[in-house]
Structure 1
Amino acid sequence: MKQLLAILLLFTTVFSFAQEEDKAQFLALKKANNFVYQGNNLLDEDAVAAEMEYRKALSERPNLAVGSYNLGTSYIKQGNFDEAIYRLEAAAKSATSKAEKHKAYHNIGNVLMQAKKCQEAVDAYKNALRNNPSDDETRYNLAVAKDCAEQQKDQNQDENQDNKDENKDKKDQQENDENKENQDNQDNQDQEGDNQDDKKDEGDQDNKEGEDKEDEGKPEEDKKDKGDGGDEEREQPKPQPQPGQLSPQQIKNLLEAMNNQEQKVQEKMNAEKQKGVIIQSDKDW
């Protein structure tokens, strides 16, 4: 008997708890619907205020499809398309009837068309028609979205082709510039080589002229010795007897030869100094 009473008491408690829970859910649904009603009254005049009421409704019943649907509508009026799509997708997911799903997907397609996302709008209208195949307005919007998607596809292909052509032109121009630069570098190297050869020839010619000028002040026997090229195997000339004292004319000739030699050396040193100077160009600030 006691066991039976305990079982009856348990069932009574569970039933009472279920009643309380159902009552709480009912009250929450009632409050949520009231917030939705208030939001609907504000929607045409103040979309932001209506948004706040719809948010209150969802705080009471997060899965309330009408709350998400109307909140998405308020975002459409505010021009916030991304948030509108998010809320309408939530409404489609929470919807319990095909009619509700059809409305949600239809409006998603409309928002996507305003955002110029034509191919995504095509998919949304198709989902709407799956839930209500007889809706002519959705079918018309689907045809418009398909045409828009084709135009965007062609436009994207043209832009991609233009980008390819532009990139190809840039690549060709870059290759031409590189080839021209390489050719200029090669020409500069060739010119530098020619200049070095010319400088070498000029140096040899200067040395030869210097030697010729040095020979002008030397006695004939010195010239003859230098002309022989220092060939040790060649028979040396026999020394001529010299007088014990130089004549005034010989002393004069020797002094002139020494002066000429010193002048040539000084000129050569000055030429080398001038040749090694590097002129720096002014830099602009």
Structure 2
Amino acid sequence: MAGTTYTLGFSPCPNDTFIFDALVNGKIDTHGISFDVALEDVQTLNEWAINGKLDISKISYGVLPLVAEKYQVLQSGGALGKGVGPLLIAKDAGIRVEDIDTLRIAIPGVNTTAHILFSLAFPEAKQKQFLVFHQVEDAVLSGRADAGVIIHENRFTYQDKGLHRLMDLGEYWEKHTHAPIPLGGIVVHNRIDRARAAEIDALIKKSVEYAFAEYPHLSEYVQQHAQEMNPKVMRQHIDLYVNDYSLWLGEDGKKAVRQLCEVHHRLYPQQPCTSPDIFLSPE
């Protein structure tokens, strides 16, 4: 099995390329394991995970209840933290939060954590437009949406485009759950045996450790895939989304993921996390 190749999907955003660079580009010893990489936006990866397409994939934790029977969550490579949540923004600074339920809202994907956090804050909002994350700002600027939920590097650039923050949805989550915000995780398909999955998990951890050891240097791999090419913004992105939880989820991180699943189940009672253990545990 040493020479096995596995399919691996993650986003081209700086936090993901930072995490996986060493793993997929031969900068650490992978013990003969190789990876066929697909770089896609997270909503595409979510949809693929629902269909069980990839062996290993980044997903939004918001889609976990829909894939928990096929995949388990790895300990390493994910994005959790405090102060890292999506922002609700608008072109018109005069929009009141009290009016959101009646407005057109652009959301970065139906199965994303951003959608779950928005729905937690605004369960009665009905006029949602589901877009790829980098299309949200344009929808708001053009008037096709009254407000939008932004994630990733857009958090650092929205003000430059004349947009205004209405609400920090991550702060809302933290206030109501007292838990870190579970944005995205790495999952492994059940068709891979547990021992091999645990080995891959450990390799991802080594890849993150390698990236941290080289930081603040930005590798060519990170720079060539970043939507926002300003090195300052790339580092802000990495600083915000890559942390100790990316090295190892731990009990605190697991608790936060379980809480998100509980919120998801309250919003969508027909979609519970039915798997007895959604986290990979070595044999």
Which TM-score band (shorter chain)? under 0.3
Relative CO higher for 1 or 2, CA cutoff 8 Å, sep ≥ 6?
A: 2
Larger Rg: 1
TM-score by length of 2: 0.20
Higher helix share: 1
Higher strand share: 2
